[in-house]
Amino acid sequence: MLHALVVSAVLLAALKPATGAALQARAAKHVTLDVVNAKLAPDGFSRSTVVVNGQYPGPPILLTKGDSLSVTVNNRLTDPTMRRSTSLDLDGLFSTTSELYDEGSSFVTQCPIGPNASYTYNHGPIDQAGSFWYHSQLSIQYIDGFRGPLIVYDPEDPHKALYDVDDLTTIIQMGDWWHNTTLSPTMLPQYEATGIIPVSDSSTVNGVARYNGGPAVPWSVVNVVAGKRYRLRLINESARNVVTFNIEGHSLNIIEADGGNLVPHTVNALDMLAGQRYSVVVTANQPVANYWIQTPFVGGSAANNLNQNASLARAILRYAGAPIADPTTPMSAGPFTGSLVEADLAPLVPQAAPPADVNMTLDLEVIAGQAIWTVNGVSFLPPKTPTLMQVLEGASTEADFNVTENTFVFPPNKTIQFTFPPNDDDDAHPLHMHGQNFWLVKPNTTDVINTVNPIKRDTAAAGANGMILRFSTDKPGPFHFHCHIFWHYQAGLATVLLNNANATRAEVHPTPAWEALCPAYSALPADLQ
């Protein structure tokens, strides 16, 4: 279940309409996240977790466009079988230049936060709105439960006339779930040795799941009133799984992707890769009853984990006046007709992708039989000294970094085009860009190149049909660019994009707290890192 995050009183006011002038004067929102180990059983199987404030998913962070955000992370991890350091990534939020180091990418923009330590991240004023999320960016730690929603409401939302309800009850989070409590120390090395990614036991919807042979955990329920229109904010918080979202008997009117407003586009179902977000408007226009919210997933062969059953990934849409009961229709895992084709999406405000100044081809390859992924022949290894620290100390060219850091250096105010050739492996890689979004010039779902009005987002698939994207280097700093299948990320499928090293040194101003992170982390024994 979702629980409101305990924050300063002004956060509650963030959900109230405000004028443009009021947005400029909004006070900072102060949030405290206590990262702890807790025994939880989202699907009925009890295990130790790494979670925020003792709950999974983590408590919502709710903001209004124009807010500044201050997040204090208190590391209270004690379980010796799990990673005890941590970090925070506010996924999809763009950091301001002077606070660039607060983006939370371990070993790119900061060192991790050790146990019994605290660190405060500062962002804003936030000139974005939409559906985002937060998670640990250390190793594969967020698989253990450190993940939750971050919503930025827009009082002047151009789609406001399309829906009646947009609140805590309409946030829908999906996430893969493993029973094994030693994912980082045992399953990650096993994956690295064999190349076989562990298969999740179940897939949660708002923190609830079932698995083969497990207890009948009560389904998560989304309550609606006949005749009303609901903005559902869908977030795929998986570390691997591709989720298909469908509501029995109801159409989905897509209005947002990764924080970008879209021309409304109606489908019956949509596929979501790890890290992707959509807002859809659903009208409660069917007879009063209970309907399945179906979220079947793909993420490895179920033969490798007999607990897994994709048809058990679901929740209930319950109309007011309907009995407290399961829907009477059979549980299905699809396929569904009328599914989204990403290439059919268009931005609400058309914007042409600027002509490319620099063209690069990025080949994604895996070494057969091993968990070693490469980008243009290089498997990413996190540096001991974070990229940003190296830049502040003078690093400016690609030769200044170790080859295994896979750092691409770009001049300022240019447009870069990345072309991803078709790959023949089984996964569509959800490539995620930190700190900025990109023009999706050719999605994986089409052969057509669209430079006239492509959508902009921060996570998209490089798969069997290839992909082309463009982005601007108008914001200085190092930005992580990686696969959001975190098993692949840990196996080397990542790069760092360094824009304008000189401006980074001139405009980024580290605090003593940031400078203290690396010495403190380096001094920790290995079992506390």
Domain of residue 488, CATH code: 2.60.40.420
User: Residues 134, 239: one domain?
Assistant: no
Q: Quote the pLDDT of residue 185.
A: 72
Secondary structure of residue 276 in the 3-state scheme: coil
pLDDT for the residue numbered 104: 82
Domain boundary among 129, 157, 185: 157
CB 102, CB 130: distance < 8 Å: no
Q: Which residue bears the tokens 């967020």?
A: 142
Same domain, 180 and 320: yes
Span 481-497, average pLDDT: 96
pLDDT, mean over the chain: 92
427 and 305 in a single domain? The answer is no
- Predicted confidence at residue 101, as pLDDT, reads 65
Amino acid (one-letter) located at 493: L
What pLDDT, on the 0 to 100 scale, is given for residue 223?
98
509 and 409 within one domain: yes
Lowest mean pLDDT among 16-20, 106-110, 282-286: 16-20
pLDDT of amino acid 7: 33
Reply yes or no on whether the pLDDT at 487 is more than 70.
yes
105 domain residue, yes or no = yes
pLDDT at 517: 96
Mean pLDDT along residues 385-401: 97
Return the structure tokens found at 448. Answer: 């057509």
- Residue 396 scores a pLDDT above 80: yes
Residues found in the chain: 529
Residue 480 phi, psi (nearest 5): -75, 140
Listed residue (92, 74, 223) closest to 151, CA to CA:
92
Q: Which of 521, 520, 511 is nearest to 122 (CA)?
A: 511
What is the pLDDT, as a whole number, of residue 14? 27
Tokens of 465: 């049909």
Q: Would you say residue 52 has pLDDT above 60?
A: yes
How far apart, in Å, are the Cα atoms of 414 and each of 192, 244, 328, 354, 408? 37, 36, 56, 9, 14
pLDDT band at 97 (very low <50, low <70, confident <90, very high): low
Domain span including residue 104: 10-157
480: left (phi over 0), alpha (psi -120 to 50) or beta: beta
Each residue of 3-20: pLDDT tens digit?
A: 333 333 222 222 223 333
Q: Are residues 140 and 207 in the same domain?
A: no
Which percentage of the chain shows pLDDT scores above 90? 83
Q: What is the mean pLDDT of residues 402-420?
A: 97
Residue 351, domain member (yes or no): no
pLDDT in tens, 418-473: 999 998 666 789 999 999 999 999 999 999 999 999 999 999 999 999 999 999 99
- State the pLDDT at residue 235: 98
Residues forming beta bridges with residue 262, ordered by sequence position: 347
pLDDT average, residue stretch 246-253: 98
Confidence of residue 95 (pLDDT cuts 50, 70, 90): confident
Report the phi/psi class of residue 382: left, alpha or beta, with left for phi > 0 and alpha for psi in -120 to 50. beta
Task: Report whether 386 contacts 109 (CB < 8 A).
Answer: yes
Question: Does some domain include residue 349?
Answer: no
pLDDT at 267 over 50: yes
Q: What is the pLDDT of residue 192?
A: 80
| 312/449 same-domain check | no
- Which 8-state DSSP code applies to residue 186? I
Domain endpoint, select from 157, 187, 203: 157
What integer pLDDT is reported at residue 19 of this predicted model?
Answer: 31
- Do 254 and 332 have their domain in common? yes
In this predicted structure, the answer to whether residue 102 has a pLDDT above a threshold of 80 is no
Quote the radius of gyration of the chain (alpha carbons, Å): 22
Report yes or no on 144 lying in a domain. Answer: yes
Q: Over range 189-211, report the average pLDDT.
A: 91
Q: Is 420 domain-assigned?
A: yes
Please say if the pLDDT value at position 21 is more than 50. no
Instruction: Determine, yes or no, domain membership for 2.
Output: no
Do 224 and 289 share a domain, yes or no? yes
d(C-alpha 274, C-alpha 239), whole Å: 6
Q: Is residue 5 part of a domain?
A: no
- Mean pLDDT score, 478-503: 95
**Cβ-based neighbours of 4, under 8 Å, separated by 6 or more:** 59, 60, 62, 168
Residue 29 lies in a domain: yes
Name the residue with higher pLDDT: 409 or 333.
Answer: 409
Cα(182)–Cα(204) distance, integer angstroms: 19
- The SS3 assignment for 318 reads strand
Q: How many domains is the chain built from?
A: 3
Q: Do residues 366 and 447 both lie within one domain?
A: yes
Lowest mean pLDDT among 34-38, 177-181, 482-486: 177-181
Same domain flag for 424 and 462: yes
Q: CB neighbours of 323 closer than 8 A, spacing ≥ 6?
A: 290
CA-nearest of 238, 177, 181 to 202 is 177
Q: Is 265 in contact with 244 (CB distance < 8 Å)?
A: no
Percent of the chain with pLDDT over 70: 93
The beta strands (E) that lie in 307-380 are given as 314-319, 358-361, 364-366, 373-375
- DSSP codes joined into one string, 155-205: TT-TTGGG-SB-SGGGEEEEEEE-S-S-IIIIIHHHHHHH--PPPPSEEEE
Query: Please, which residues bridge with residue 280 across strands?
Result: 232, 254
* The pLDDT value given to residue 189: 81
Please give the residue that has the higher pLDDT: either 14 or 155: 155
Examine the domain organization and report whether 394 and 310 are in the same domain: no
Residue 386 pLDDT more than 80? Answer: yes
- Does residue 228 sit in the same domain as residue 108? no
Reading across the β-sheet that carries 229-236, which strands appear in turn? 202-205, 171-177, 229-236, 277-283, 252-257, 260-267
User: Mean pLDDT across the stretch 238-257?
Assistant: 97
C-alpha angle 220-226-230 in degrees, rounded to nearest 5 = 60
Sole residue written with tokens 């000139």: 127
Q: Quote the pLDDT of residue 140.
A: 93
Q: What is the pLDDT of residue 26?
A: 67
